Structure 1
Amino acid sequence: MPEIALLTNPTSGRGRGARARAVALPRLRDAGYAVRDLQGADATEARALAEQCVADGVETLVVCGGDGMVHLAAQALATSSTRLGLIPAGTGNDVARYLDIPRKDPAAAADIVLAGHTRTIDLARSGSAYFVTVLAAGFDAIVNERANKMTWPRGQMRYNLATLAELRVFKPLSYTLELDGETAQVEAMLVAVGNGPSFGGGLRITEGALLDDGLLDVVIIKTMSKPDLIRTYPKLFSGSHTTHPKYEVHRVAKVTVACSGIVSYADGERFGALPLTIECVPAALTLLCPGPA
């Protein structure tokens, strides 16, 4: 009997993880799979469970949660032959957006796993740590830091309120960038490094970034007035900010980002203090996704 591992974050999305698991688990078993039903007491234990699945040669690990669970799984599955399935149950669910996996229908998401269609994508790596979506390294990272400390409200509104709170006191930052070996000094509101196009529940900061082009999209939003930033922020949801004169993008295989006092976030998780060197790792992760229409 084929085996699937199902790894759940029961607290993801304020309990949506547990509810989604309750739908997905019997659906996978009814299809004839032996399912390892796994939950970690914390992120360290959950990652160890994912690593054990890879070591045991489990063909498919399905995570039930949000981008944080995808991030955790990527650390274990990167460059391995184990496939990653996703039952979205988080707050942002940007990876599910990338792949057109239903974000509010765990049964339909489980059916995508069962159908077995795959897509191989790149990952971004700094040292031994990987990320799937976007690394935030400026105003966006500071907003993430505040939003992750907030317990109310839920979803995107939490990021919006954190943005307004930080905007009152924010000052432009001084960056040193090394873009495929070329060094640049820049004053900017933020620098974002995208493997994919969005983060934070659909904020398309690195609009146009492709998951399988072997490159990272490094977006620089140069210094602008606070009123201009407020006017520009809603454009992030459509990706139309790319026409702003303060917007700049570089597509590179490797970038070093340095800025004093900034802790970066990636996949919505604390990733590391700057400076960081990030490189694209082509074809590093195989995901289960909807097949052709």
Structure 2
Amino acid sequence: IEPGDSIKNVLPLPEDETTWGDYDIMFATQAGDVRRNKLSDFATVNRAGKIAMKLEGDDRMVGVGLCTADDDILLTTALGRAIRFKADDVRVFKGRDSTGVRGVRLQDGDEVISMAILGRVDATPEERSAYVKHANAMRKALAGADAEEDVAAPAEAEDEVADAALTVERIAQLGAAEQFILTVTETGFGKRSSAYEYRRTGRGGQGLTAHGLGGRAGTRLAAAFPVEETDDLLLVTSGGQMIRTRIDQVRIVGRSSQGVTIFRTGKDEKVVSVERLPDSGGSDEADVAGEEGGEGEA
């Protein structure tokens, strides 16, 4: 590794190399550029490494993932914006030593903090809106009469669409395909939101609100990525404090909400790392039970 360089991603690959031709590899940079290559371009990599993407100035890599043309790409920024677009909106590059194309248009002082690969679901905006409202209503009913209002927080006005009538079968189909996006701020606030609330737009736009950053929630996001109900989370602060908690303790709310306090950080301390721990199978109680964020919640 060259001086000043560091390893950013460790990417598991399919064991059967004969299937590598079916996959693409997507790169995303801090400045909002993306690039798509065939995975087979990297079938042979020697110990000295291989150029994957040319970076301009002080730009750096923030995400690498396997995808197909049928997947969607989600880029999330530090100032709480996110953009979702089709993977095939990014052409397949033949070479490896050129820059990519713009994935998201950043505001001053903003930067991309994560890239996620999402499954593409064949559903209309009306169906997604109706399903999210139904699922939120069901969660609120299960939580009881004391459930917080933000359990069923609606999407922001820019996404409002007419509701569609959903059959029981269609609700089951959308539920089986639903993914959830975790977002965590530097001040320790976090939430889960349905990926259906992140509507697909064209590549290169400014995106949608991914997390409400007003009030106590802070001014910047520390992490954003898909999670499963059985996952654990590991958070580390700039002061060397660490916490492990269950993902099911993090409330599911609308994407513009501020969420709940996952980690109560100290003065001049911020969350610097959030890691997903898939289904550990442990029985230990989580260190923090996702206490409410009080006035910091949306």
Per chain length, whose mean CA-contact separation is higher, i.e. which structure has more relative contact order (CA < 8 Å, sep 6+)?
Answer: 1
Structure number with the higher strand fraction is 1
Does TM-score exceed 0.5, indicating one fold? no
The two structures have a TM-score, normalised by structure 1, of 0.30
